[in-house]
Amino acid sequence: MKAINVIGLGYIGLPTALMFAKSGQKVVGTDYNKELVDKLNRGELTFEEEGIEDLFQAARKNDIEFTTQYQKTDLYILSVPTPFVRSSKKIDPVYVINVVNNVLDVCEKDAILILESTVSPGTMDNFVRPEVEKRGLVIGEDIHLVHAPERIIPGNMVYELEYNSRTIGADSMEIAERVKELYASFCKAEIVLTDIRSAEMSKVVENTFRDINIAFANELAQICRNDNMDVYEIIRIANRHPRVNILNPGPGVGGHCISVDPWFLVGDYPELTSLIHAARDINDAMPEFVRKRMLTIMKENNITSLEKVGLYGLAYKENVDDVRESPTLQLLTILEENMNPGVKVFDPHIRRKMVDGQCMDFEEFMKDLEMIVIMVGHDHIKEHLDRIKPLIIFDTKNVTGFDHAELL
């Protein structure tokens, strides 16, 4: 086999490319973003992630390069965004279609195209196969299609690349075995072989399961708030039951997986997904719930201006710099729409200016602050609890442990 051409060097593609290179494979990473490519070629990483610096250095000692050009080779890993159309809730396949055509322009005969992006069930049949067939190519002879959905989470990517089980979906078991052998060069967990549509569905189902469980916790928080009950105490007690494991509520669901993938099922099966749709609506409504709760707390404490309020955390989860579908960004949009601008914002992991009112250091953020809303439970805030203790605290993540902190 020649070089593996990994297309898309974002949160999934880059760690995957580095892991293959570290394991001894020849890898070429391709991305349309020249600034990103140039940065990687200078030895600079493009996002924060536990363990990725060591992985990057190990990969660079082997055989890896970065370019904006697609390679003429026999194996491609495609890791591009798969957003959904908000009006229809269906997948927007434009990035997948574009990358497939770009690969077909240069690939060798008998090449294997591995799609790692999370897609709706039937994406390969409905969008990828037709692009191959338009060119008169025979699938299974001229081109082999594989779906190997990623299964890693920001904040623990490097570990999970090695130790999470993988799924390989292919038309033939012969191709599936070849791809399994490739991933086994670094994956130490079970690698399951199946057909493409089952692989597509299983990944979407995983994230939908998690979304529904989060929605139950969030709805429970709203019920308890309505009757002035402590949702965390109730969850703590309920979870003493050996078959109960309720999650903790939060200010919303972010990231590119849980907040997006369930919509694929809603869009494709609108008459069969009432539970999934309801869960999505509950989780999407949490930033508005936070806004109303925040304004109530302000009123109770005679805080008349949002300029005295700070939102802590822009990332969608703890200890990462990933802001995709961030609940804080959603909350800021809602504040603007409701004529409530002026709030201060800070995140120790976000080192680029993203929103109005964003402070670039913690001291600036804390200046003249009367109330803090903890949207993300970064380790950083846990290390500065003494600094925020005198403030009015709305702790949506239940990380402070202060008796005076307001909770969801």
C-beta of residue 273 within 8 angstroms of C-beta of residue 266:
yes
| Size of the chain, expressed as the number of residues it contains | 408
- The CATH homologous superfamily to which domain 4-194 belongs is NAD(P)-binding Rossmann-like Domain (3.40.50.720)
Q: CATH says 209-407 is which class?
A: alpha beta
Task: Give the integer Cα–Cα distance in Å for 102 and 111.
Answer: 13
Token code pair at residue 388: 């925020």
C-beta of residue 179 within 8 angstroms of C-beta of residue 168:
yes
Report whether pLDDT(1) > 80.
no
Give the active site residues: 203, 257
Task: Give the integer Cα–Cα distance in Å for 206 and 210.
Answer: 7
Pairing of strands 143-147, 166-170: antiparallel
Tokens 């694929």 belong to residue:
264
Quote the pTM value. 0.94
Task: Give the integer Cα–Cα distance in Å for 148 and 357.
Answer: 41
The average pLDDT across 79-92 equals 94
Question: Could you tell me what percentage of the chain is helix, strand and coil, using 3-state DSSP and rounding each to the nearest 5?
Answer: 40, 15, 45
Same fold, 4-194 and 209-407: yes
- The pLDDT, as a whole number, for residue 341 is 77
pLDDT level of residue 2 (50, 70, 90 thresholds): confident
Domain coordinates in residue numbering, the chain: 4-194, 209-407
At 117-133, the pLDDT tens digits run 999 999 999 999 999 99
Nearest to 235 by CA among 222, 225, 221: 221
SS3 of 47, please? coil
CA 305-282-243 angle, 5° bins: 120
- The pLDDT, as a whole number, for residue 231 is 97
At 266-294, the pLDDT tens digits run 999 999 999 999 999 999 999 999 999 99
